[in-house]
Structure 1
């Protein structure tokens, strides 16, 4: 399956029988910079993949030489030019709504029930870092280059990096990266814990990530979406709240055909087969 109804994205199925789908940021001539269209299309695409029962795992990547070079400067320019045309209070209230809407575009990654895996090559700058910090798993190539770039543009990063990155790499590391806006390599991203594994080149990454994604896709979809949801919800909860949340979750879905099939397959030493979600 391929979907070409988007201006800034492409959806591709790994193979005819696979439940792994590629979601590709597709503006290679602009370094996959994030345009106004992207902020409309990205949550719509994730929602479509979420609702599609054929989809178990989403792999997010970039077309061309880069993963994402950040927000398109033309979009930033249009926001600032439009800011001074109305009464100041209303102008600022409108800007807040625009920022909240753009934040929601990134949060849509977390709201997608299916796991989203980031596969990063080339540049992953500014808004690109916002997006990957919302992903469930992150992998990159050795030549990948990252930067929390916003302070270089006189902006406080506002689409999620300052909220999510500290939980991934630690507060001190996140502060250093955000305040210096320095570029760092794929190998350093691995040392920091931003990515789980670094591959020698893009082809090796695509093959390796496909294997990881297929492995996840072969497991119980109820268990996978439950694990994603509980991880995200527990992140901002106290320990006892998190334990109570997962108890409630499992009381709702534990007694499933997936559990029966998993136990049966284990006893029979065969690969389990689960129904689509």
Structure 2
């Protein structure tokens, strides 16, 4: 795969269907640079399209997950703005939409994306993890919806995705106060599914979960993600109709036949790559 300036990709182990995608600016606490917003969607698309990849684990290189958007990147949005207020505003809106799309790329990815969070997860780090499918962290991880302290209304996804994960009241309190909260509190409010005692324990625990998901029928895995994502925006009747339509084209597959045969023969199923 392509080499990136702000990211690193490696395989969990030889022949493993689990791939690790690292935010890779450890000297800057993995602050997101201009390069990130171009490279991240490309990396996810490449992993999504590879038949060798079943699950993606997203984490941070070094001592932190992500400290937010690099200050120099923020400054680039106001530099050289048009004197025409209308044109300047229109340009800024396009810039914001471009940044938003970089995080929505996680949801567009058919393959499950698991976030493994340690150290700082601040500002845009929250935007990233709320777009992920599953989240785990270490006990020393800390979080902050930091934007209001930077005179910004968070605009890259946190205010849209966080309430569905932790509840409206919790999301409002965290976004208005910008306070720092711990990994243990993140578990209490259901931002993460599990807290590990150390990064080593988390890396191994996440690997086991990812390998487990990767061993399951691939059409069922991507279908589960797709239907859950789509159902967020639908009422019950519409959601049931959507999954019926999805399964009408996906259910009768070689995966189903293999799963049934393997169950009857009491052996491990083997599924074709997707």
Q: Shorter-chain TM-score category?
A: over 0.9
Find out whether 1:49 has 2:29 as its counterpart. Answer: no
Query: How far 1:32 sits from its partner (Å)?
Result: 0.3
SS of the residue 2:77 aligns to? helix
The equivalent residue for 1:17 is 15
The answer (yes or no) to whether the contact 1:4–1:11 under 8 Å persists in 2 is no
Q: Which runs of 5+ in 1 are unaligned?
A: none
The equivalent residue for 2:24 is 26
Q: Distance in 1 between matches of 2:205 and 2:268?
A: 21
Q: Which runs of 4+ in 1 moved over 4 A?
A: none
SS of the residue 1:81 aligns to? coil
The equivalent residue for 1:250 is 247
SS of the residue 1:124 aligns to? strand
Q: TM-score, normalised by structure 2?
A: 0.99
Query: How far 1:82 sits from its partner (Å)?
Result: 2.7
Find out whether 1:103 has 2:100 as its counterpart. Answer: yes
Query: How far 1:4 sits from its partner (Å)?
Result: 6.3
Query: How far 1:81 sits from its partner (Å)?
Result: 2.4
CA displacement, residues 118-161 of structure 1 (integer Å, 9 cap, x when unaligned): 00000000000000000000000000000000000000000000
The equivalent residue for 1:227 is 224
Higher mean alpha-carbon deviation, 263-272 vs 216-225, is at 263-272
Find out whether 1:79 has 2:77 as its counterpart. Answer: yes
How many residue pairs get aligned? The number is: 274
Query: How far 1:194 sits from its partner (Å)?
Result: 0.2
SS of the residue 1:198 aligns to? strand
The equivalent residue for 1:7 is 5
RMSD: 0.8
Find out whether 1:138 has 2:135 as its counterpart. Answer: yes
Q: Which runs of 5+ in 2 are unaligned?
A: none
Q: TM-score, normalised by structure 1?
A: 0.98
Q: Which residue of the other structure, out of 163, 166, 170, is the alignment partner of 1:166?
A: 163
